[in-house]
Amino acid sequence: MLELNTKPDALEVDETKSAVVVVDMQNAFASKGGLLDIAGLDISAAACVVRKIAAVLEVARAARLPVVYLQMGYKPDQSNSGGPNSPNWHKELGMNLMNRRPELKGKLITEGTWDFEIVDELRPRAEDLVVVKSRYSGFAGTSLDSMLRTRGIRYLFFAGIATNVCVESTLRDAYFLDYWPILLRDGAMPAGPAAAHEATLYNVEMFFGWTLQSDDFITALDLSKG
């Protein structure tokens, strides 16, 4: 069992039933020239988040924890976007921008594009699980739940972008499905002001799970090895 210095209280986690979930670490959200940057949102913290996640994944893989990548993306014909009758068509940032700016159509979070790809520093490995999604939550319309259950996973460590959108949405659904969600506080970044990140930390600690510093996660895994 991993003894974790989580907030709001300490937690014991079964390492053999744990996985790391990397949410939307794509050029769209972490790179200059990507969706968030085009939308005028501050991505200056992205490089630090990438480094934190890379360190976490190195130790997690050494401990043989499954790594799950969530990847936001639409088909080139946008057939999985929901269309004009779906709120997703109007509110999801990528779809909204492509609808308002025709020159961007098919270029933002669209399968096969640079914007869609996971950043080079965090490229998935052959043994990792990759789940492409077209909604904020990684559980919405995907096989994520069945993939986790068939592997006996109960505890999920979350990192990625954006804390207040896709990370929080997936974490909430994990809680509703009776997984134990732990958010790596410094392994995530908001879309919007820092207060949005803090609001998610509050929501998680008060209502939906636990939070943990990435260094504490790494230390706990190192200690478990011997």
User: Does residue 52 register a pLDDT over 80?
Assistant: yes
What mean pLDDT do residues 23-36 have?
Answer: 98
pLDDT value of position 51: 98
Of 7, 115, 166, 173, catalytic: 166
pLDDT value of position 223: 86
Q: Is 182 exposed, middle or buried (0-12, 13-18, 19+ CB in 10 A)?
A: buried
Half-sphere exposure in the Cβ direction for 184 (13 Å, CA): 29
Q: Percentage of the chain with pLDDT > 90?
A: 97
Q: Is 134 among the domain residues?
A: yes
Number of domains present in the structure of the chain = 1
What mean pLDDT do residues 178-191 have?
Answer: 98
pLDDT, averaged across the chain: 97
pTM: 0.97
Q: Percentage of the chain with pLDDT > 70?
A: 100
pLDDT value of position 226: 64
Q: Please confirm, yes or no, whether 24 is among the known catalytic residues.
A: yes
User: CATH number for the domain including 32?
Assistant: 3.40.50.850
**What domain range is 64 assigned to?**
2-75+118-224
- What φ, ψ does residue 12 adopt, rounded to 5°? -100, 130
Q: Please confirm, yes or no, whether 48 is among the known catalytic residues.
A: no
Q: Is 91 among the domain residues?
A: no
Of 7, 24, 115, 173, catalytic: 24
Q: Is 90 among the domain residues?
A: no
Give 188's strand partners.
Answer: 160
User: Does residue 225 register a pLDDT over 80?
Assistant: no
E strands in 56-200: 67-72, 129-133, 155-161, 180-189
Half-sphere exposure in the Cβ direction for 196 (13 Å, CA): 16
User: Does residue 25 register a pLDDT over 70?
Assistant: yes
pLDDT value of position 8: 98
Q: Is 23 among the domain residues?
A: yes
Q: Is 158 among the domain residues?
A: yes
Q: What is the pLDDT of residues 55-111, one digit of tens each?
A: 999 999 999 999 999 999 999 999 999 999 999 999 999 999 999 999 999 999 999
Q: Please confirm, yes or no, whether 215 is among the known catalytic residues.
A: no
Of 7, 52, 115, 133, catalytic: 133
What mean pLDDT do residues 186-215 have?
Answer: 98
pLDDT value of position 224: 83
